[in-house]
Amino acid sequence: MRFTDKQFFDWEIEHGLYTGGSNKGFYEVHKKLAEFILQFHAGYINSHLDLGAGNSPITKILQDNGIKAEMVEQNKYSIELQIKNGVKIDNIFNEDFTQMEFYPFNFITSIEVFEHVEDEKLLPFIQKLSNHCEYFLFSSTPNKDTPEFDEQWGHVNIKSTDEWVRIFTESGFELMKEETEHLQKNCIPTTWTLMFKSLKHA
C-alpha cells in the first residue's frame, strides 16, 4: 500500500532530512548541494526553485545566503516544517509543479521527484522547462525494486540516467558533463545526479 503523506514525512524525519534522525548523512548531502549551488558561478546565481522540496534544507540555506529561493511542495506536513524552520510561506507553492506557470529562475533543482510522476504529465513539463531556467539539476532513482516496494513509494516512472539525458537533450538542454561527473562522484546528492544547461539561455 502506498505511503500516506504523513508516513512519507515521518520516514524523512527518521532518516535525517531535515535535521537529526538516524542518518545525519541524508541531511548533509542536501547541505552539500546547497553549497554547490552557492559556489557555482558565485555571485551570479540569484534565484532558485526546488521542485518537490519535501523536508530538504536547500531553500532555507539559500535564503540565508541571500538567494531568492522558493519551493514547490504539496505535502502539508513538510510545508509546516519548512515554515517552522524559517522558510517564508510566500516562498512556498502548494501546487502540482507540472501544471504551474512560473517566471524564470537561474537554477532549478528536483531531487527524487520525477519517478513519482507519470510521463503524460512530466514530458510536456520538461518540454517547456528550458524556457524557465538556465540550469537544471535533478536526480531520479534509476533502480527498480520489487513491485511492492515501488508501489509503497509511489514509483511510477523509473528511467535510466541515459534515458533522462536523451529526454532532456531533445527538450532544449545540454548535459553539463564535468559538473555531472563531480556531483555523481561526490554523491551530491546521489550517484545518479544529472545537471543540464538550457540551450535557450546559451
Tens of pLDDT, residue by residue over 114-157, are: 999 999 999 999 998 999 999 999 999 998 877 777 778 788 89
Per the CB < 8 A criterion, the answer to whether 104 and 43 are in contact is: no
Whether 20 shows a pLDDT value over 50: the answer reads: no
The three cell numbers locating residue 150: 515501488
Q: For the segment 32-91, what is each residue's pLDDT rounded down to a tens digit?
A: 999 999 999 888 889 999 999 988 889 999 999 999 999 999 999 999 989 998 998 889
Query: What is the third-level CATH fold of 31-201?
Result: Rossmann fold (3.40.50)
> Which 3 state secondary structure label does DSSP give 175?
strand
| pTM confidence score | 0.91
Q: pLDDT value at position 25?
A: 66
Alpha-carbon separation of residue 26 from 23, 57, 112, 129 (angstroms): 6, 11, 13, 28
The three cell numbers locating residue 47: 534565484
Q: Provide the CB-side half-sphere exposure for 84 (13 A, CA).
A: 9
What size, in residues, is the chain? 202
The three cell numbers locating residue 178: 564535468
- Average pLDDT, integer, range 160-170: 97
Q: pLDDT value at position 83?
A: 92
Torsion of CA 128, 129, 131, 132, to 10 degrees: 140
